[in-house]
């Protein structure tokens, strides 16, 4: 993407040319933007995109220069001090005990600290995620909710990468379909909400452009990778066992409950969150798969 630079007198700030987003106008400020979970899938992308715009980014993680730890509330105030906007992701998931209360408390602290904008990443169709949304919106007047569907990158850099390397896509839910989304689209919506006017109070339900079943995704991945990837339907009990083998029973209990909740047909519709926030269509799964394969996502050495 082409960019131009504006000299603010203190530093150079890059702005993209031809922004095709809701407002198309980014704010200039010397105050940093806090990205909580800056080492995660979405947080790392949001931080990188903000960096590319020449904006000041404060990375919030346990090992960052200004530490942030959900389990250590004493780190929240220093991390929020002096920032103008904050991106909030709760790890491992809002369904974990205490997650809803913590994001609500953080949103209230952000408001008291004078943080102008808050963007929360939420899960589509999840009961606890909805409670988290309500807690944040009650605590902060200018919160934006980005409610996301399933990430395409779960196949290329998540826990499903190894099965794809082995030629299988084991998932519960039967013939359920999902409008899977590219994480870069999620990150673009978040960056717009953090840096542009007009997004406060919005709920952006972000999805890909079409409904796909697990078998459809396996077929697309097969073409992109150049070898067969087979969808293997599994039970929720098997799903639980697979998660427990790597993450333990407690983690497996939570994620299996989320899978049972969301893979019941409630999310089988395409939504317009990307179009409303950015003024463009979301990226298709085929493009994601082809680009990820070219980048070596499924090579043994990756």
Residues of the chain whose pLDDT is less than 70?
1-28, 301-302
48 C-beta neighbours (distance < 10 Å), count: 14
As a whole number of angstroms, the distance between CA 142 and CA 138 comes to 10
The Cα–Cα gap between 163 and 281 comes to 30
Tokens encoding 120: 């929360």
Neighbouring CB atoms inside 10 A of 175's CB total: 9
pLDDT at position 110? 98
pLDDT at residue 300 in the model: 77
Task: Return d(Cα 50, Cα 57) in angstroms, integer.
Answer: 7
Contact 40, 54 (CB under 8 A): no
47 and 59 Cβ atoms separated by less than 8 Å: yes
Strands 12-16 and 3-7: antiparallel
Contact 229, 164 (CB under 8 A): yes
d(CA 210, CA 271): 9
pLDDT digits (tens, 9 = 90+) for 189-212: 999 999 999 999 999 999 999 999
Q: How many beta carbons lie within 10 A of that of residue 179, not counting itself?
A: 22
- pLDDT of 302 reads 57
Q: How far apart are CA 188 and CA 22, in angstroms?
A: 12
> What pTM does this model have?
0.89
Using CA atoms, how far apart are residues 25 and 15, in angstroms rounded to an integer? 9
Distance CA 80, CA 58 (A): 9
- CA distances for 137 relative to 15, 127, 143, 145, 235, angstroms: 29, 16, 6, 8, 36
Walk me through the domains of the chain, giving residue ranges and CATH numbers. Answer: 15-226+253-294 (3.40.50.720)
Which is nearest to 46 in space by CA: 192, 181, 144? 192
Q: Following DSSP, what letter does each residue of 204-236 receive, concatenated?
A: EEE--SS-EEHHHHHHHHHHHHTS--EEEE--H
Confirm if 22 and 54 have CB atoms less than 8 A apart.
no
């Amino acid at each position: 993407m082409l960019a131009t630079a504006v000299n603010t007198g203190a530093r150079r700030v890059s702005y993209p040319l031809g922004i095709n987003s809701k407002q198309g106008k980014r704010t200039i400020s010397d105050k940093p933007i806090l990205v909580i979970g800056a080492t995660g899938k979405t947080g790392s992308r949001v931080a990188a995109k903000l960096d590319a715009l020449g904006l000041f980014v404060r990375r919030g993680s346990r090992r960052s220069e200004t530490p942030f730890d959900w389990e250590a509330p004493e780190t929240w105030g220093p991390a929020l001090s002096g920032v103008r906007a904050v991106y909030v992701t709760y790890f491992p998931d809002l369904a974990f005990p205490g997650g809803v209360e913590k994001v609500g408390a953080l949103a209230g602290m952000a408001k008291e600290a004078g943080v102008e904008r808050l963007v929360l990443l939420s899960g589509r169709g999840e009961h606890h995620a909805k409670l988290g949304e309500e807690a944040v919106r009650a605590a902060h007047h200018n919160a934006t909710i980005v409610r996301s569907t399933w990430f395409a990158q779960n196949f290329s850099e998540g826990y499903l990468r190894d099965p794809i390397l082995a030629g299988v896509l084991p998932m519960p839910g039967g013939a359920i379909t999902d409008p899977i989304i590219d994480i870069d689209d999620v990150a673009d919506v978040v960056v717009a909400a953090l840096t542009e006017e007009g997004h406060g109070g919005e709920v952006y339900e972000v999805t890909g452009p079409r409904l796909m079943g697990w078998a459809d995704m396996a077929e697309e991945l097969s073409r992109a990778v150049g070898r067969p990837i087979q969808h293997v339907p599994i039970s929720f009990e098997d799903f639980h066992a697979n998660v427990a083998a790597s993450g333990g029973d407690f983690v497996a209990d939570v994620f299996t409950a989320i899978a049972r909740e969301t893979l019941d047909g409630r999310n089988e519709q395409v939504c317009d969150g990307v179009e409303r926030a950015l003024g463009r269509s979301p990226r298709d799964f085929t493009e994601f798969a082809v680009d990820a394969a070219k980048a070596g996502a499924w090579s043994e050495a990756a």
